[in-house]
Amino acid sequence: MLNIIYALIILFLGFLLANKVASSLRKQDRAPLNYLWLYHVLFALFYTQFLKGDANYYYETALQMDASQFRTYLSQGLGTHFIFGFNYIFAHLLKMNYIITTLSYALMGYVGIVCFYIVTVRCIPQNSKLGRLNLFPFLFFLPNLHIWSCAVGKDSLSFMCIGLFAYGMLAWRKRMFLLLFALFFAYCIRPHITFFLIASFGFVLTFSESLTKKQRIVIVMFLVIGGLLLLPKVMSYAQIEDTSLASFQNFSNSRISNLSRSHTGSRIDISNYPLPLKMVTFLYRPLFFDITSIPGLLASIENALLLFLSIRVLKQKPKGVYKNAPVIVQGLLVFLFLGTLAFSNMLSNLGIMLRMRNMFLPCLILYVLWSNSYYNQHSQKEQP
């Protein structure tokens, strides 16, 4: 009975989020959020029945923990240990079963989707089409955007943190607490993601003409200090001994070896790939020649669409597109680049690539929408 009440509360909170947090949006922009929530919940329920994997392990481990382990993991652990401690709240304190815990994570993942949705509405002045199809909000219904942001584990929480950070940057002076919360929570889950966010937006803000010189100096000092404090923690978490090229290469080779042993189903040998091909593999595979199952077919259709849209972006005066993009769009593109550069060198399993790429997929979608919008407006101005 308690879990049924929890389920109703979670469903209500999702609709409340769609209609209240996004209340400043136009009605036609706000309406799809309700459908996105129902769509997201269906993926969560599907996940609990067919794709348990690590998510079930995270929950079962928390279920077997005692209060002492909970305090230790939550206060001292990072990454997986933090997730164990975090899940103790759902499994023991709230007494949720696995399905309701998954719905709770789905709600947190949906927070990320709503944040990216609002950023898109605020930053993209003109919708674009693929044939007769409006790309927005269609691209927000891509299955892989939902399937990896609704399950128990690090992926859903990381996705939420990145979305909250992007949303906070829309009005960073007013939302400083939200930005700090997003960075801290992301640090507890995946410290390197926090570092990537700080590095990406620090780089963009350093050269932003929308800020005064004094504001740039203050922000850069804050980010540099934060980055220097964070870097040793990231290296310790990743077990990298120093910042030499050899250390990073050894870490990359170790990750590839470990993941290849534990996930052999869709393993590919990327050791001889040049860096650009590794990055393309991370962003756009599996494709049709990788198909081994029905989910693989669906993923390849989605990736083929993203690849086509990305190629079209490269033909749309990319220098001017980036230069005139809002700071948030620029920052998320740099974040996408850093994440792709890092993960493409350490992953050799297509399933894990899809999962990890989900943190960066909204950045790619947002830039595709911005590029099309800018190019269409620019082309219209050039017409006599």
User: What's the pTM?
Assistant: 0.91
**Tokens 């799809």 sit on residue:** 32
DSSP 95: -
Query: How far, in Å, CA of 10 to CA of 98, rounded?
Result: 14
Query: What 3-state DSSP class applies to 267?
Result: strand
**Tokens 């077997």 sit on residue:** 64
Tokens of 281: 């593999």
Tokens of 109: 């993942």
Q: Is the dihedral of CA 273, 195, 103, 139 positive or negative?
A: negative
The residue ranges of DSSP E strands in the chain, in sequence order, are 129-130, 133-134
DSSP 349: B
Query: How far, in Å, CA of 205 to CA of 159, rounded?
Result: 22
User: pLDDT in tens for each of the 384 residues of the chain?
Assistant: 899 999 999 999 999 998 888 778 887 888 899 999 999 999 999 999 988 678 999 999 999 999 998 988 888 778 899 999 999 999 999 999 999 999 999 999 999 999 999 999 999 999 988 888 999 999 999 999 999 999 999 999 999 999 999 999 998 889 999 999 999 999 999 998 998 999 899 889 888 877 777 777 877 777 777 777 777 767 666 654 444 444 444 544 555 454 444 444 577 888 788 999 999 999 999 998 887 777 788 899 999 999 999 999 998 888 889 999 999 999 999 999 999 998 988 888 888 899 999 999 999 999 999 999 998 887 665 555
